[in-house]
């Protein structure tokens, strides 16, 4: 590590994650415009969303399998090229199918970032992996804040969705420049034998965490990606809620160290599941100012899910190596991709039912959003049980922790 500029690599990694997050936030902000311009239903918009979440796990599976041979540098080149290609194809999209293709490339770029940067950071900061992974993942909610505010500002000033997509090219060029010419570590502190990695994936604990990750990711991202459609008629500003929620998440992740040290990862995950379930349940019935209160609780609940899951795998199932960290993230995104069109169909069906009952369009959209949130609340409720079981085993787990 003597000749490696860890600080520059970490900063570049953070900016690449900002781009990843901005793609989620800005896509959430322009869903309505895309639906209008291309005459797409919520179910079709769900399929467009799902391509981002599908491209992500395909990239993480690929990246995890080849990380030991290609390394983080080449994976970041793939991420950079895919980001540029996906953004340009989106800007010039002509309809549903071209949106599907361009969004897939963006998702593949986002997954490549995770596949490269998580093991890179775990390797560079081996003595405090979960804390540094939380600090890295500050910039997912941080990037969503940036993207949400950019989207709201540009929309309020009548700027097109194409310009909103184009705004992400700037930070993409910045992280490409920062990675340019840098020396990367050679997996000195993580298991780099792919055969050992593959064998370790059969661990019951790893399989259990993969199942949990499908639920934590859908709880967090399934709610956030549809915030404009779900809360658009609740009496609160959806994009301000998204910015507020993710801003609080960023602050929470930055100061994650003492919390993780005090509760340990199983305790953090158990508490997060309880708070998330309560928050989404409250959001499903709140209107006006109470939406902001419920959203604050939601931010606290989902704040530590993603980075703590990755950190848990790195520390409690260390022999899975870079592959384990990539696959746990990929499992979360793959599950979210499956649920995107389902969430869209929940909105379509609930809105149609409300309209048939005589509700106005605004009332129907509010009722559909609330009913959809009630459905999403089931995910963290299941997690309360699963992480409760994990928490009871925390003393046994500590014996194998690195």
pLDDT at 63: 92
Mean pLDDT computed over 281-306: 87
pLDDT tens, residue by residue, 158-177: 899 999 999 999 999 999 99
Give the Cα separation of 327 and 120 in Å (integer). Answer: 15
Question: What do you get for the CA distance between the two ends of the chain, in Å?
Answer: 20
pLDDT band at 136 (very low <50, low <70, confident <90, very high): very high
Which of 49, 60, 50 is closest to 82 using CA atoms? 60
pTM: 0.80
pLDDT band at 1 (very low <50, low <70, confident <90, very high): low
Helix, strand, coil shares of the chain as percentages rounded to 5? 85, 0, 15
CB hemisphere CA count around 20 (13 angstroms): 30
Has residue 319 got a pLDDT over 80?
yes
Other CB atoms within 10 Å distance of the CB of residue 258:
9
Question: Which of the 8 DSSP states describes residue 286?
Answer: -
> Are 268 and 393 in contact, with CB atoms under 8 Å apart?
no
Q: Tokens standing for 230?
A: 């779900």
pLDDT band at 261 (very low <50, low <70, confident <90, very high): confident
Helix axes of 42-91 and 96-124: crossing angle, nearest 10 degrees:
70
Other CB atoms within 10 Å distance of the CB of residue 184:
18
pLDDT at 294: 87
Question: Which of the 8 DSSP states describes residue 185?
Answer: -
> Are 302 and 141 in contact, with CB atoms under 8 Å apart?
no
pLDDT tens, residue by residue, 220-246: 988 776 776 677 677 777 778 878 888
Give the Cα separation of 124 and 126 in Å (integer). Answer: 6
């Amino acid at each position: 590590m003597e000749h490696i500029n860890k600080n520059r690599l970490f900063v570049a990694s953070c900016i690449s994650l900002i781009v990843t997050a901005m793609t989620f936030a800005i896509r959430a902000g322009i869903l309505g415009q895309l639906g209008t311009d291309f005459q797409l239903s919520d179910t079709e918009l769900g399929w467009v969303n799902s391509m981002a979440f599908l491209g992500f796990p395909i990239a993480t599976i690929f990246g995890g399998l080849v990380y030991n041979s290609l390394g983080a540098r080449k994976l970041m080149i793939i991420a950079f090229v895919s980001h540029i290609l996906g953004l340009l194809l989106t800007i010039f999209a002509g309809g549903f199918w071209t949106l599907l293709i361009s969004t897939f490339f963006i998702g593949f770029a986002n997954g490549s970032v995770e596949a490269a940067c998580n093991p890179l950071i775990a390797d560079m900061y081996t003595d405090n992996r979960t804390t540094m992974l939380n600090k890295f993942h500050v910039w997912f909610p941080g990037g969503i804040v940036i993207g949400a505010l950019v989207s709201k500002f540009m929309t309020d000033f009548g700027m097109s969705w194409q310009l909103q997509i184009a705004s992400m090219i700037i930070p993409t060029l910045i992280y490409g420049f920062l990675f340019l010419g840098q020396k990367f570590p050679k997996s000195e502190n993580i298991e780099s034998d792919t055969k050992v990695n593959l064998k370790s994936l059969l661990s019951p604990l790893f399989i259990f965490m993969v199942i949990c990750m499908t639920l934590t990711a859908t709880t967090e991202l399934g709610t956030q990606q549809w915030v404009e459609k779900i809360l658009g008629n609740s009496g609160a500003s959806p994009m301000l809620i998204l910015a507020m929620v993710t801003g609080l998440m960023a602050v929470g992740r930055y100061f994650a160290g003492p919390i993780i040290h005090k509760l340990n990862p199983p305790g953090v995950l158990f508490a997060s599941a309880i708070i998330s379930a309560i928050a989404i349940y409250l959001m499903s019935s709140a209107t006006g100012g109470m939406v902001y209160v419920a959203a604050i609780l939601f931010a606290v609940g989902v704040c530590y899910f993603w980075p703590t899951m990755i950190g848990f795998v790195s520390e409690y199932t260390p022999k899975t190596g870079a592959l384990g960290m990539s696959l746990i993230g990929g499992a979360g995104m793959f599950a979210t991709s499956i649920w995107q069109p389902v969430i869209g169909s929940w909105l379509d069906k609930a809105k149609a039912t409300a309209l048939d009952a005589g509700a106005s369009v605004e009332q129907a959209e509010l009722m559909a959003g609330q009913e959809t949130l009630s459905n999403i609340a089931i995910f963290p409720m299941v997690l309360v049980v699963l992480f409760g079981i994990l928490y009871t085993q925390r003393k046994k787990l500590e014996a194998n922790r690195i």
